[in-house]
């Protein structure tokens, strides 16, 4: 029997609450399926670990994670540790260190999920955002000059490499081709005359290899407007690291909220483990109260199952989430219910067993 070894970094704030639910669902599915086992190894890394040890994870953290089939991550960052320290010491280190250059973020309005937009149906909001995840605006190259003086300067340089742009854009074309969907590139060539013009050129160049994939391109400002005014324009979307970050919180807002938005950080070559996580943060405002919605974390379990080649099970998890939303019996507060975080996984498993 296949055994999947999963490294769990529950992390900070609501991370441990939602990850507990996701693990329960994954273990329950393994049991129902009978065809594979899962084994979790917990890593207590995060802000508390930092306050104790002075680092977000041990120096050999990546080596410790390297042999796993997947990483399941909750959230990183908490008041008390500066965000740039906590995130660059853990989440971003893993994304970069394991060359997880694809960040796959579905923006799909399930039936029963709340949507703040007027006159849209579920079919209208059904996209996958392919976010570049290894460089771009997040390369974190820069400097501070003359700190504390009137001449103080901060420099932050984006890095757009041909290799980096080509591989994410090609991945998105392949996905659009495989699914028979259109591909939209979102950039900002009118103002960012080096990086984004380069991106646009590569999008056009690679497009020649995919004459059957219908394409469009938008500036990120117009794209944000269309996410709200006319989301059905978008099917597969490819964009840079920062634009993808911002657009997928907007995507979450139109597709049920932060409690439903999942993301997979993929190393498609499988040279390194890929990482699955809800896209939300540690939500300090609701942490420790049982208010967190674990459906995003559960949805990222579906993405993990897809990545393991069990798309059949991944789809069943999404279908179970949809049933839960439609039945409205067991939902957390953000979705208009009164259930606590820990009640969601058992409800999902009950649906899966029907
Ligand atoms: P956030 O996503 O944590 O919270 C934004 C809002 O959404 C809050 O009102 C929160 O209560 C709500 N929310 C988020 N997830 C929810 C859930 N599952 N159920 C119900 N409501 C939910 O963003 P933030 O407040 O900007 O960031 C808080 C911390 O998390 C910061 O340290 C930030 O750097 C970090 N962060 C980490 C990640 C990550 O680990 N992937 C992602 C985003 C932010
Ligand atoms: C996300 C988060 C991270 C990002 C932060 C916490 C660094 O917002 O996963 O969307 O910007 O990628
Ligand atoms: Mn984000």
Strands annotated E in 12-101 = 36-42, 70-75
- What's 329's DSSP letter? S
Q: What is the CATH number of domain 1-100+257-354?
A: 3.40.718.10
For the cut 90, the answer to whether the pLDDT of residue 1 exceeds it is: no
Cα(82) to centroid of ligand 2, in Å? 14
Cβ atoms of 184 and 235 closer than 8 Å: yes
Cβ-proximal residues to 166 (8 Å cutoff; 6+ apart), any chain: 202, 206
Mean pLDDT of 230-258: 98
Report helix angle 15-33 to 311-327, nearest 10.
Answer: 120
Could you give phi then psi for residue 320, rounded to 5 degrees?
Answer: -65, -40
Pick the ligand that lies closest to the CA of residue 298: 1
pLDDT digits (tens, 9 = 90+) for 308-337: 999 999 999 999 999 999 999 999 999 999
Taking domain 115-255, whether its CATH number is 3.30.1540.20 is answered by no
Rounded CA-CA distance 199/205 in Å is 10
Cβ-proximal residues to 116 (8 Å cutoff; 6+ apart), any chain: 253, 254
Cβ atoms of 87 and 9 closer than 8 Å: no
* Nearest CA-CA partner of 234 in 318, 308, 123, 131: 123
Active-site residue (options: 2, 83, 221, 312)? 221
Tell how many helices (H) and how many strands (E) occur in the chain. 12, 12
- Position 42 confidence tier, pLDDT thresholds 50, 70, 90: very high
Cα(283) to centroid of ligand 1, in Å? 4
Angstrom CA distances, 130 to 290, 306, 351, stand at 31, 16, 30
Q: Is the pTM of this model over 0.75?
A: yes
Cα(280) to centroid of ligand 1, in Å? 4
Domain residue extents for the chain: 1-100+257-354, 115-255
* Nearest CA-CA partner of 30 in 263, 319, 341, 304: 304
94 CB within 6 A, ligand 2: no
Please determine whether the domains at 1-100+257-354 and 115-255 fall in the same fold group of CATH. Answer: yes
pLDDT digits (tens, 9 = 90+) for 165-212: 999 999 999 999 999 999 999 999 999 999 999 999 999 999 999 999
* Mean pLDDT estimate for the chain: 98
For the chain, percent helix, then strand, then coil, each to nearest 5?
45, 25, 35
State the CB neighbour count (10 A cutoff) for residue 114: 15
Cβ-proximal residues to 140 (8 Å cutoff; 6+ apart), any chain: 88, 92, 156
């Amino acid at each position: 029997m296949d055994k999947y070894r999963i490294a769990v970094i529950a992390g900070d704030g609501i991370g441990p609450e939602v990850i507990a639910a996701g693990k329960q669902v994954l273990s329950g599915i393994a049991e129902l399926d009978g065809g594979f086992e899962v084994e979790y190894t917990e890593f207590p890394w995060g802000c508390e670990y930092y306050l104790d040890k002075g680092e977000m994870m041990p120096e050999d953290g990546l080596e410790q994670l390297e042999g796993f089939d997947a990483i399941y991550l909750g959230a990183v960052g908490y008041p008390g540790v500066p965000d740039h320290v906590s995130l660059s010491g853990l989440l971003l280190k893993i994304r970069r260190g394991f060359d997880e250059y694809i960040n796959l973020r579905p923006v799909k309005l399930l039936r029963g999920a709340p949507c703040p937009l007027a006159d849209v149906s579920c079919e209208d909001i059904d996209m996958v955002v392919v976010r570049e995840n290894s460089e771009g605006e997040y390369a974190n190259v820069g400097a501070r000059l003359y700190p504390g003086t009137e001449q103080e300067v901060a420099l932050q340089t984006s890095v757009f490499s041909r290799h980096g742009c080509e591989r994410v854009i090609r991945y998105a074309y392949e996905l659009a081709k495989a699914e028979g969907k259109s591909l939209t590139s979102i950039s900002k060539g009118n103002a960012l005359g080096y990086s984004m013009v380069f991106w646009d050129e590569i999008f056009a160049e690679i497009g020649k290899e995919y004459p059957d994939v219908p394409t469009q391109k938008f500036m990120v400002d117009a794209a944000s407007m269309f996410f709200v005014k006319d989301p059905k324009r978008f099917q597969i979307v490819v964009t840079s690291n920062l634009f993808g970050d911002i657009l997928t919180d907007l995507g979450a807002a139109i597709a049920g909220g932060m409690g439903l938005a999942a993301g997979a950080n993929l190393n498609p070559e499988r040279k390194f483990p890929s990482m699955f996580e809800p896209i939300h943060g540690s939500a300090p405002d609701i942490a420790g109260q049982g208010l967190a919605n674990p459906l995003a974390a559960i949805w990222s379990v579906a993405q993990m199952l897809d990545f393991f080649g069990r798309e059949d099970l991944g789809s069943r998890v999404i279908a179970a989430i949809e049933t839960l939303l439609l039945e409205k019996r067991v939902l957390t507060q953000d979705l208009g219910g009164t259930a606590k975080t820990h009640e969601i996984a058992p409800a999902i498993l009950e649906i899966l067993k029907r």
